[in-house]
């Protein structure tokens, strides 16, 4: 268990270093980062521009100085909520529309570097692209739904900090899986088997996702995470599966 956790930390770092020193991977990692930031800025700007109108619909600013502070507090909370929703929406849109294809391409380059070749599915580019997008939807919706459920649960129980910690761990597990699932999804493994691989390697996914909790650095590691995840799958998981067979 501890070994898998440590492997997760090491492989994410190894992926970042390989990505930085490989021109194609570096370009794709930067592109992925730029797309996510662009979506976030656009949607956050739209959300903030409509902030006043939404706040007016909820509660018109009171004239009394005794309660106006409550209005300002709620306005501040609404701003944070709208920015949070914008960030979440931008992540989902960037993943489904662009990043899933960029991630797969980064994974392919990494596989070619490690093994000298890429195992290609017998599908046309269009069919395979639609397949990847289809696979990405449950990988995004499932962790978001679970995280939101835990977040709401934390409001209604005295164990808020504990639940928040569990929610964070669940989030980084699924974010890590979004990367480690690239190779098996590309090789058309059944979804059930891929979920089984996730459950079997939870310590690795927690270690791998720890970087996603570090402010500022998380965006950098996140942009190059497909590299380290692909390295892990090819060097560890695939060899384990071969020994079973």
Tokens 């739209």 locate to 46
Q: What percent of the chain has pLDDT over 90?
A: 22
Residue 192 in tokens: 């059930």
HSE-up of residue 18 (Cα within 13 Å, Cβ side): 23
d(CA 230, CA 122): 20
Cα→Cα distances 133→94, 104, 138, 222, Å = 11, 11, 10, 19
- 3-class state of residue 149 by DSSP: helix
**∠128-224-220 over CA atoms, to 5°?**
140
Tokens (6 digits) for 204 = 């690795």
Model pLDDT for residues 30-40, shown as the tens digit of each residue:
988 888 788 77
Q: What is the pLDDT of residue 68?
A: 74
What's the helix, strand, coil split of the chain in %, to 5? 85, 0, 15
CA distance 237 to 112: 17
pLDDT of residue 156: 64
Inter-CA distances, 194 with 25, 49, 180, 191, Å? 25, 42, 9, 5
Q: Where are the domains of the chain?
A: 2-244
Looking at residue 84, what is its pLDDT? Answer: 63
Per DSSP, the residues of 18-82 read HHHHSHHHHHHHHHHHHHHHHHHHHHHHHHHHTHHHHHHHH-PPPS-TTTHHHHHHHHHHHHHHH
Q: Which run of H or of E encompasses 185?
A: helix 182-186
Residue 105: name the closest of 172, 34, 175, 183 by CA: 183
Total length of the chain: 245
Pull the structure tokens for residue 213: 């909790």
The one-digit pLDDT tens for each residue of the chain (245 residues) are 778 899 999 999 999 999 999 999 999 999 888 887 887 788 778 777 776 776 667 667 777 777 777 777 777 777 766 766 666 676 667 766 666 788 888 999 999 999 988 887 776 767 777 776 777 667 667 766 776 676 666 666 666 666 667 777 887 888 888 899 889 888 888 888 888 888 899 999 999 988 888 877 888 888 899 999 999 999 988 877 666 65
């Amino acid at each position: 268990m501890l070994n898998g956790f440590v492997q997760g930390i090491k492989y994410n770092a190894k992926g970042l270093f390989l990505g930085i020193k490989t021109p194609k991977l570096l370009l794709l990692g930067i592109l992925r980062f730029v797309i996510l930031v662009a979506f976030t800025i656009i949607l956050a700007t739209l959300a903030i521009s409509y902030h006043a109108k939404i706040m007016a619909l909820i509660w018109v600013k009171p004239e009394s100085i005794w309660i106006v502070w409550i209005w300002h507090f709620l306005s501040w909370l609404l701003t944070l909520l709208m920015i949070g929703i914008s960030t979440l929406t931008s992540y989902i849109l960037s993943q489904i529309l662009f990043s899933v294809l960029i991630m797969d391409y980064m994974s392919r380059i990494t596989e070619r570097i490690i093994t000298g070749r890429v195992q290609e599915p017998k599908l046309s580019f269009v069919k395979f692209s639609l397949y990847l997008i289809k696979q990405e939807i449950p990988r995004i919706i499932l962790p978001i739904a679970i995280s939101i459920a835990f977040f709401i649960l934390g409001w209604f129980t005295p164990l808020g900090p504990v639940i928040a910690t569990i929610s964070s761990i669940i989030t980084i597990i699924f974010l890590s899986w979004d990367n480690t699932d690239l190779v098996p999804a590309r090789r058309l493994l059944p979804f059930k088997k891929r979920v089984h691989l996730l459950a079997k390697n939870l310590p690795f996914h927690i270690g791998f996702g720890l970087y996603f909790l570090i402010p500022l650095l998380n965006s950098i590691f996140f942009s190059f995470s497909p590299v380290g995840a692909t390295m892990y799958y090819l060097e560890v998981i695939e060899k384990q599966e071969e020994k079973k067979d």
